[in-house]
Amino acid sequence: MAQEVIATSGMFGTHSTGSLSITIGETMTETATSNSGILTQGFQQNYESILALPENEIDAILLYPNPFTTHFFVEGDFEEGARIFIYDVSFRLIEQKTLNSGPTCQMDIGDKASSEYFIYLSQPDQLPRFIGKLIHTIP
């Protein structure tokens, strides 16, 4: 039996660097259907526990264009010494670069294989965080 959830609440959001889907609900165990209706059994929860970060704690980072052929841009408010790390689908480090002091930095990896790449940002005194996935296509 596959895991399923009856959604009672949730949200879906998109950004230029990806999307996020949150579902709050009940785990289903069995559904019975007849001419008079549908009965779905599940586990009842009497409260919802939601953990979230205030929106102002996450700075917007833009990666564009996606897909790209030779280079892409990273745009955001970066601290002095911030670094970008690019990993391939095998999580091998392909490229790293210290960002310029301006709000936009160009990354050129046109000589790398056409593939998906995972982009991480490391700011001083912070752990690296995932900021997006880009697709490198043949020019």
CATH code: domain of residue 112: 2.60.40.3080
Domain span holding position 113: 57-135
Edge-to-edge, what's the strand order for the sheet holding 18-34? Answer: 5-15, 18-34, 37-42
To the question of pTM greater than 0.85 for the whole model, the response is no
**Count of CB atoms situated within 10 Å of the CB of 75:** 15
Give the integer Cα–Cα distance in Å for 12 and 7.
12
Rounded to 5 degrees, what are φ and ψ at 56? Answer: -75, -5
Is the domain of 109 the same as that of 44? no
Domains in the chain: how many in total? 2
List the chain pLDDT tens, one digit each, 139 residues.
455 555 556 667 777 777 766 666 655 556 777 888 776 665 555 555 555 555 545 567 889 999 999 999 999 888 888 899 999 999 999 999 988 777 888 889 888 888 899 999 998 888 888 988 999 887 7
